[in-house]
């Protein structure tokens, strides 16, 4: 076949029409179908020996010939090139036919891999314009190399400096892949005259997909992020951060009401304040003023590369040149610096500079930080809070609002959003869009990469480079996070609309109005305002509402009109339990029999829903109510007559909301009812005297559930740590129940999972939550958190006996069937295979539910085969035991010469085989297709698509190494193969898994709503409204013989007297039980928790735990920006000195530490805002106090 023109690397462009494997390098150039003397092509591939200038000019000469003669075009492949030039044609027949090779007009073009390449369709006829203009419109981009769907820069970049930063893992390049946004601006150029129509044509020709450019843009951003690890820069940033202002609850960046929902997480709260401060630290530049006259009407003239030493040192890939209408000169430049240290000096820019420098500040503060590169021209950061990555937009001062760009700003061009850290990259696009699976969204993605497989391949390659030298522990943690995030992103892909809770409807703040409108980011197309709740649920509640706080002889009931955190608007027995949704009424129901047990916690958006709920409550339940409805939902007090002491008038309800503590169908002497305005700012507390004896409690099992915090672990005396890690659920349950009998009800229950300690629960462990779908999808069915709570007997099913141990079986595997590519495997292997029992099975049945299919080419006469087969059989047997379905299936393709040898050899194998009589029909084709040149050979295929996952060249060695490494290495090898399946396969299987989770959820459904202990089965008769009551009296008086007119007047009077007297209720069983009423008691001090820890443990063990905490703080002081020193697992050997201590974690929390849960373990965190030196000094004082004892 004829060969095309070979271009230099700088001239190459990718061809968007090639849909073969992304690794294919063939590209095409269109040349006219003219006599051979116009184009001489050497069959010996010597064409590139022509002078370089001739080669470079030839394509444009061809285009000129086509345009002037109307010749049709023919497609030739370019070997190794990445540029495709398509010519125009005025021939009608050419415009409706596919191009063909020059030697055979009907034959397809074939690449070097022997695969056909799809042809170009000739472009539509165009008309050249002779009109010229003194001004040309030039698209200005924040990144000179950033490719858009409409134009691509052709300016050479060889003169521009290399990017700075750590390039050990990512090689430098000369492309201007500046990690900054694109802008659409019109630049007036008076010194260059161009033919606009010609320029448009060139742009169209160069508008091609280039996977390499996509990769290089990410590499450039990786270097930016790696520079954030420069110690000197981190120190400089820490010296600039206004720590005192950001920590101050009344400081300029504190908004208590707005931040209440994140106030329970000190790191999230600090990040929000840091994000508010940063726009005040920086200066947004729409256009710089003239450096000569100060004119503020300068317009961008052009863009150039760096010229001065300052521009080069600041790594300014682009320098914007501005024209001053007053001075009539190009007087002002605006270098777009990529060097974050330089940005600390200039403190100005747009979102490229903002995201770069803010990422450095986040790292300096101590956050794990990623840069999010939005190819639709924006950048922001993601920060790791707990076990999740949340967005932080420093331009807007907003965190954790991923819907802001699509829903709030109304951005229509979202396509790729790549999160970039120093040790990994990930495509997080589904997190920021609910249109990911739409045709438009996928079409936009194809303007940057050739396919989803190409994207996955690029990201996988980058991750391998970044993680090449990381230790095993770091790789394991990255893999855990990857699987968790992949599951979360897969859920986002399936979502087609933002929920009411997710919607953030405000348009963009940063930038001028004209600039925002030009970019269509002013929010005019948003679906609603920030407060749009038209689709919000009318009722919200915790998944697991009930909770019995550790029992004491007194019960505290608290109401806070201005909560400090999300849930502390209502506190029962020290447990913050309000739902806490904004503009809603939080209602908590407490058991009066098992005093203090929280039965229900709900939130209502309307008073009508609240009244309906209260009407169904059993008599004498304690009710705490706090909040108001959005917009002052109006209603009368009728319907709340069952609440003794309710004095809520329309003013209370509609205008300011209400705070209430009382009982249903009872009016005790301690009832409290007030408007939120009249309630003390410090809140109101009622303390009730409890019964002297502990109520009867039994343990309830909550499968796939986990608390937000724990109080510690089961002490050594109850069960040693090593035993806890190995014990089964029955053994752990027995150990806890034995311990709780001696612990005097200090704990509300426990939580655990296989391989984890028995963690104890206290008042901080509410609410217990079901594991989210992402956590379930990355965990084995028998390797999830289960929680066990002490509750009143009516709440616990009779058949609740805890978690019963069971051996692993096929039911533990995914419930969905793998969609096998039946036609492919039937054609490849034949219609039937044989099993080890020599039974003939249909191919699709034999390969049922295999994720991977291996073709094993081997023969009995081959010595290496006889050595390799037992090793492969060992691997196969282990994988079948661990993954009986959704794993690997192997098919033996024999090279034996006779049926007897085949049968003798196959008896040593545990897998399937192609029948000997069918081998002649399939073996030759299989050998040729998969390049089998010797045996033994193993080829691994994806069962869904039939594509090669691992070739014969690599599998033999990898299997041998895995078998030598043991079972763990064998499983890792299988996992590595599964990660290499096509992206489409991953998408299909994830969708199937999500569908099965919805149809057959692994989480048991709540059956408590039907429990009569919680709600009455039928409504209690409700008081009639005023009109109905008057009618009732009227009919009664008329029946007694009264005159209708007189009866009507008397009926009205009777109802008035009845309403005046109010609904009279009995005092109830808890009347006179209050021991204190008034403002909420002050919080307990560190000294209180220290004394409690000493009472429960020895002085020596308490001292040891405090000294351990000091060691963690000293490590954090050495490198306060290092996240690895700011969190530690509670189960690790060192931290266990604190965890095993009763009251140890409570003491730690009063000192400022945080506790949070991951899908793997619980962690203690040193908050970013903690004063490390002051806390260390405080710990030293406590240790000294213990030494004096």
Q: How far apart are CA 485 and CA 822, in angstroms?
A: 32
pLDDT at 634: 55
| Long-range contact pairs involving 307-312 (C-beta distance under 8 Å, separation at least 24) | 310/335, 311/335, 311/337, 312/161
Sheet holding 684-689, edge to edge: 575-576, 570-572, 554-559, 684-689, 1074-1078
262-296: pLDDT as tens digits: 888 999 999 999 999 999 999 999 899 999 888 98
Higher pLDDT, 518 or 941: 941
Residue 527 confidence class, pLDDT cut points 50, 70, 90: very low
Higher pLDDT, 63 or 441: 441
Mean of pLDDT values over 638-658: 73
pLDDT at 1186: 93
**Beta bridge partner(s), residue 659:** 626, 674
SS3 of residue 67 by DSSP: helix
Helix and strand counts by DSSP (H, E) for the chain: 34, 43
pLDDT reading at 809 higher than 60: no
pLDDT at 1043: 82
Using an 8 Å Cβ cutoff, are 409 and 523 in contact? yes
SS3 of residue 1079 by DSSP: coil
Q: How far apart are CA 809 and CA 798, in angstroms?
A: 27
Backbone angles phi, psi at 387, to 5 degrees: -110, 20
CA 929 to centroid of chain Cα atoms: 40
pLDDT reading at 423 higher than 80: yes
pLDDT reading at 647 higher than 90: no
- Token pair belonging to 357: 């420098």
Q: How far apart are CA 670 and CA 284, in angstroms?
A: 58
DSSP H helical segments within 778-862, as ranges?
822-829, 843-846
Residue 147 neighbours by CB distance under 10 Å: 22
CA atoms within 13 A on the CB side of 96: 2
SS3 of residue 290 by DSSP: coil
pLDDT reading at 649 higher than 70: no
CA 669 to centroid of chain Cα atoms: 51
Mean of pLDDT values over 515-528: 50
Q: How far apart are CA 458 and CA 425, in angstroms?
A: 10
Cβ partners under 8 Å of residue 416, min gap 6: 214, 373, 374, 375, 376, 427, 429, 445, 448, 449, 455
pLDDT reading at 120 higher than 50: no
Mean of pLDDT values over 636-653: 70
Q: What is the dihedral of CA 1135, 1136, 1140, 1141, to 10 degrees?
A: -40
963-985: pLDDT as tens digits: 887 887 888 888 889 888 888 88
* Annotation says 378 is catalytic: yes
pLDDT reading at 687 higher than 80: yes
SS3 of residue 169 by DSSP: coil
Residue 1126 confidence class, pLDDT cut points 50, 70, 90: very high
Mean pLDDT is lowest, of 101-110, 388-397, 591-600, for 101-110
Percent of the chain with pLDDT strictly greater than 70: 73
Q: How far apart are CA 782 and CA 704, in angstroms?
A: 10
Write the Ramachandran bin of 866: left for phi over 0, alpha for psi from -120 to 50, otherwise beta: alpha
Q: How far apart are CA 570 and CA 587, in angstroms?
A: 8
Using an 8 Å Cβ cutoff, are 562 and 570 in contact? no
Mean pLDDT is lowest, of 40-49, 51-60, 720-729, 743-752, for 40-49
pLDDT reading at 830 higher than 70: yes
1127-1159: pLDDT as tens digits: 999 999 999 999 999 999 999 999 999 999 988
Single out the catalytic residue among 119, 120, 378, 620: 378
Residue 1060 confidence class, pLDDT cut points 50, 70, 90: low
**Size (the chain), residues:** 1189
Q: How far apart are CA 649 and CA 636, in angstroms?
A: 7
Higher pLDDT, 461 or 580: 461
pLDDT reading at 1173 higher than 50: yes
Query: Beta-strand (E) ranges in 437-542?
Result: 539-541
Residue 472: exposure state from Cβ atoms within 10 A (0-12, 13-18, ≥19) = exposed
Residue 2: exposure state from Cβ atoms within 10 A (0-12, 13-18, ≥19) = middle
**Where is mean pLDDT largest: 5-9, 502-506, 953-957?**
953-957
pLDDT at 804: 58
Higher pLDDT, 638 or 185: 638
Mean of pLDDT values over 418-430: 96
Q: How far apart are CA 448 and CA 729, in angstroms?
A: 51
pLDDT reading at 554 higher than 60: yes
pLDDT reading at 626 higher than 60: yes
Mean pLDDT is lowest, of 474-478, 561-565, 685-689, 1055-1059, for 1055-1059
pLDDT at 965: 78
CA 1024 to centroid of chain Cα atoms: 51
**CA separation, residue 923 to residues 828, 855, 905, 935 (Å):** 9, 11, 17, 13
* Annotation says 57 is catalytic: no
Q: How far apart are CA 1043 and CA 108, in angstroms?
A: 104
pLDDT at 572: 96
Mean pLDDT is lowest, of 335-344, 777-786, 883-892, for 777-786
Instruction: Spell 631-645 as b/e; 16+ CB within 10 A means b.
Output: eebebebebbbbbbb
Q: How far apart are CA 628 and CA 604, in angstroms?
A: 9
Query: Beta-strand (E) ranges in 9-128?
Result: 27-32, 73-78, 109-110, 116-117
CA distance from start to end of the chain = 93
Query: Beta-strand (E) ranges in 242-395?
Result: 283-284, 299-304, 318-324, 329-336, 348-349, 369-374, 378-385, 388-393
pLDDT at 881: 83
Using an 8 Å Cβ cutoff, are 276 and 269 in contact? no
Residue 883 confidence class, pLDDT cut points 50, 70, 90: confident
pLDDT reading at 355 higher than 90: yes
pLDDT reading at 364 higher than 70: yes
Q: How far apart are CA 309 and CA 138, in angstroms?
A: 27
Q: How far apart are CA 593 and CA 599, in angstroms?
A: 11
Residue 121 neighbours by CB distance under 10 Å: 13
DSSP H helical segments within 164-313, as ranges?
196-206, 211-227, 231-240, 243-247, 256-259, 266-281, 309-313
* Annotation says 393 is catalytic: yes
Mean of pLDDT values over 759-774: 88
187-202: pLDDT as tens digits: 333 333 334 343 444 4
pLDDT reading at 10 higher than 80: no
Higher pLDDT, 654 or 734: 734
Residue 1118 confidence class, pLDDT cut points 50, 70, 90: very high
Backbone angles phi, psi at 892, to 5 degrees: -80, 125
Q: How far apart are CA 743 and CA 70, in angstroms?
A: 94
Q: How far apart are CA 392 and CA 273, in angstroms?
A: 11
Look up tokens 């008329």; give the residue.
1038
Residue 693 confidence class, pLDDT cut points 50, 70, 90: confident
pLDDT reading at 692 higher than 90: no
225-272: pLDDT as tens digits: 999 999 999 999 999 999 999 999 889 999 988 888 888 899 999 999
905-933: pLDDT as tens digits: 999 999 999 999 888 888 888 988 888 88
Mean pLDDT of the chain: 78
Residue 31 confidence class, pLDDT cut points 50, 70, 90: very low
12-23: pLDDT as tens digits: 333 333 333 333
pLDDT at 1026: 66
503-512: pLDDT as tens digits: 875 555 555 5
DSSP 579-624: ---TTSEEEEEE-TTTTT-EEEEEEESSHHHHHHHHHTSPTT-EEE
Compute the 3-state secondary structure of the chain and give helix, strand, coil in percent, each to the nearest 5.
35, 15, 45
**Residue (of 39, 38, 40, 32) closest to 94 by Cα position:** 32
Using an 8 Å Cβ cutoff, are 672 and 645 in contact? yes
pLDDT reading at 1055 higher than 90: no
**DSSP state, residue 886:** S
Mean of pLDDT values over 405-424: 92
DSSP 887-939: SEEEEEEE--SSHHHHHHHHTT--SEE--GGGHHHHHHHHHHHTT--SSSEEE
**Beta bridge partner(s), residue 299:** 323
Mean pLDDT is lowest, of 174-178, 625-629, 631-635, 703-707, for 174-178
pLDDT reading at 1 higher than 50: no
Q: How far apart are CA 661 and CA 669, in angstroms?
A: 11
pLDDT at 652: 59
Cβ partners under 8 Å of residue 609, min gap 6: 538, 539
């Amino acid at each position: 076949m004829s060969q095309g023109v070979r271009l230099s690397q700088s001239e190459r462009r990718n061809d968007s029409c090639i849909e073969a494997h992304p690794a294919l390098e063939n590209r095409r150039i269109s040349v006219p179908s003219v006599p051979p003397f116009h184009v001489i092509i050497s069959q010996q591939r010597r064409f590139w020996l022509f002078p370089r200038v001739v080669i470079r000019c030839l394509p444009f000469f061809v285009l000129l010939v086509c345009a002037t003669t109307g010749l049709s075009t023919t497609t030739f492949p370019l070997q190794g090139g990445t540029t495709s030039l398509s010519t125009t044609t005025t021939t009608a027949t050419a415009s409706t036919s596919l191009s063909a090779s020059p030697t055979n007009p009907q034959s397809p073009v074939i690449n070097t891999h022997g695969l056909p390449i799809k042809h170009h369709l000739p472009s539509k006829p165009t008309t050249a314009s002779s009109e010229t203009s003194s001004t040309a419109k030039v698209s200005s981009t924040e990144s000179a190399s950033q490719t858009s769907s409409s134009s691509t820069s052709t300016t050479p970049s060889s003169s521009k400096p290399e990017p700075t930063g750590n390039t050990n893992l990512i090689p430098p390049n000369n492309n201007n892949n500046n990690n900054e946004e694109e802008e659409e601006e019109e630049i007036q150029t008076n010194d260059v005259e161009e033919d606009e129509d010609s320029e448009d044509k060139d742009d169209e020709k160069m508008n091609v997909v280039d996977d390499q450019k996509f990769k290089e843009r990410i590499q450039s951003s990786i270097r930016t992020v790696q520079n954030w690890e420069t110690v000197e820069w981190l120190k400089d940033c820490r010296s600039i951060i206004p720590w005192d202002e950001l920590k101050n609850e009344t400081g300029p960046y504190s908004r208590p009401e707005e931040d209440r929902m994140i106030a329970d997480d000190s790191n999230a709260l600090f990040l929000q304040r840091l994000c508010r401060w940063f726009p005040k630290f920086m200066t947004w530049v729409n256009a710089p003023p003239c450096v000569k006259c100060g004119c503020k009407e300068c317009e961008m003239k052009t863009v150039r590369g760096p010229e001065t030493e300052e521009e080069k040192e600041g790594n300014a890939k682009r320098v914007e040149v501005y024209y001053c209408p007053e001075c009539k000169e190009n007087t002002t430049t605006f270098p777009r610096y990529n060097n974050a240290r330089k940005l600390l000096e200039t403190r100005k820019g747009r979102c490229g500079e903002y995201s770069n420098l803010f990422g450095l500040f986040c790292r300096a503060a101590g956050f794990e930080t990623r840069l999010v590169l939005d190819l639709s021209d924006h950048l922001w950061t993601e920060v790791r809070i707990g076990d999740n990555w949340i967005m932080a937009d420093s331009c807007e001062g907003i965190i954790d609002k991923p819907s802001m760009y699509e829903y709030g700003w109304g951005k229509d061009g979202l396509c790729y959003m790549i999160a970039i850290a120093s040790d990994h990259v990930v495509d997080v696009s589904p997190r920021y869009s609910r249109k990911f699976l739409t045709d438009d969204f996928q079409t936009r993605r194809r303007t940057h990469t050739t396919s989803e497989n190409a994207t996955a391949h690029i990201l996988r390659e980058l991750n391998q480079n970044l993680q090449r030298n990381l230790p095993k522990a770091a790789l394991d943690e990255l893999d855990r996070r990857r699987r968790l995030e992949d599951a979360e992103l897969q859920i986002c892909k399936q979502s087609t609309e933002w929920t009411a809770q997710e919607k953030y409807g405000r348009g963009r703040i940063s930038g001028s109005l004209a600039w925002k409108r030009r970019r269509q980011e002013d929010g005019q197309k948003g679906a609603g305002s920030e407060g749009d709740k038209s689709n919000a649920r009318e009722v919200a509640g915790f998944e697991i509402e009930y909770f019995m706080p550790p029992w004491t002889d007194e019960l505290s009931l608290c109401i806070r009109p201005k909560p400090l955190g999300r849930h502390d608007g209502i506190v029962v027995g020290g447990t913050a339990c309000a739902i806490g949704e904004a503009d809603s009424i939080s209602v908590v129901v407490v058991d009066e029999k098992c005093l203090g047990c929280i039965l229900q916690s709900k939130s209502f958006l309307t008073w009508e829903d609240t009244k309906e709920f209260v009407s169904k409550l059993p008599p004498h339940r304690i009710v705490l109510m706090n909040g108001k409805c959005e917009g002052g939902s109006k209603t009368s007090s009728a319907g709340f007559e069952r609440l003794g002491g309710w004095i809520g008038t329309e003013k209370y309800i509609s205008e300011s909301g209400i705070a209430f503590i009382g009982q249903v169908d009872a009016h005790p002497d301690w009832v409290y009812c007030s408007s939120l305005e009249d309630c003390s700012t410090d809140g109101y507390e009622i303390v009730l005297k409890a019964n002297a004896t502990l109520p009867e409690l039994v343990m309830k099992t909550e499968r796939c559930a986990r608390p937000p915090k724990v109080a510690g672990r089961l002490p050594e005396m109850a069960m040693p740590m090593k035993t806890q890690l190995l014990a089964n659920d029955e053994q752990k349950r027995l150990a806890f129940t034995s311990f709780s009998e001696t612990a005097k009800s200090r704990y509300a229950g426990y939580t655990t999972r296989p391989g984890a300690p028995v963690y104890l629960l206290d008042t901080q462990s509410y609410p217990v939550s079901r594991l989210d779908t992402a956590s379930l999808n990355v965990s084995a069915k028998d390797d999830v958190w289960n929680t066990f709570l002490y509750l009143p007997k009516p709440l616990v099913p009779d058949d609740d006996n805890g978690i019963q141990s069971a051996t692993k079986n096929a039911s533990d595997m995914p419930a969905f069937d793998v969609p096998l590519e039946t036609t492919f495997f039937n054609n490849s292997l034949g219609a039937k295979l044989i099993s080890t029992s020599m039974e003939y099975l249909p191919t699709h049945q034999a390969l049922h539910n295999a994720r991977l299919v291996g073709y094993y080419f081997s023969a009995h006469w081959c010595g290496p085969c006889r050595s390799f087969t037992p090793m492969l059989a060992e691997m196969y047997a282990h994988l079948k035991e661990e993954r009986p379905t959704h794993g690997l299936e192997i098919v033996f393709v024999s090279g034996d010469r006779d049926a007897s040898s085949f049968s003798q050899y196959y008896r040593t194998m545990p897998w399937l085989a192609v029948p000997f009589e069918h081998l002649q029909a399939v073996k030759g084709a299989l050998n040729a297709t998969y390049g089998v040149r010797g045996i033994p050979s193993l080829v691994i295929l994806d069962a869904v698509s039939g594509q090669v996952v691992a070739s014969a060249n690599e599998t033999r060695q990898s299997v041998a190494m895995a078998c030598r490494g043991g079972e763990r290495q064998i499983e890792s090898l299988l996992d590595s193969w599964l990660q290499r399946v096509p992206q489409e396969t991953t998408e299909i299987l994830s969708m199937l898994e999500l569908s099965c989770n919805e149809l057959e959820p692994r989480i048991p459904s709540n059956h408590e709503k039907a429990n009569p202990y919680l709600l009455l089965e039928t409504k209690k008769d409700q008081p009639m409204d005023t009109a109905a009551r008057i009618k009732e009296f009227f009919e009664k008086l008329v029946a007694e013989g009264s005159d209708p007119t007189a009866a009507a007047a008397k009926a009205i009077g009777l109802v008035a007297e009845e309403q005046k007297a109010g609904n009279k209720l009995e005092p109830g069983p808890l009347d006179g039980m209050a021991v204190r009423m008034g403002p909420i008691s002050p919080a307990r001090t560190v000294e209180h928790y220290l004394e409690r820890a000493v009472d429960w443990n020895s002085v020596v063990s308490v001292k040891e735990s405090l000294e351990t905490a000091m060691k963690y703080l000293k490590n954090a002081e050495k490198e306060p920006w290092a996240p690895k020193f700011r969190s530690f697992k509670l189960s690790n050997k060192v931290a266990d000195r604190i965890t095993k201590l009763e009251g140890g974690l409570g003491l730690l929390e009063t000192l400022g530490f945080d506790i949070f849960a991951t899908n793997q373990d619980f962690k203690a965190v040193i908050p970013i805002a903690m004063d490390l030196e002051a806390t260390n000094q405080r710990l030293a004082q406590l240790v000294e106090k213990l030494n004096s004892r």
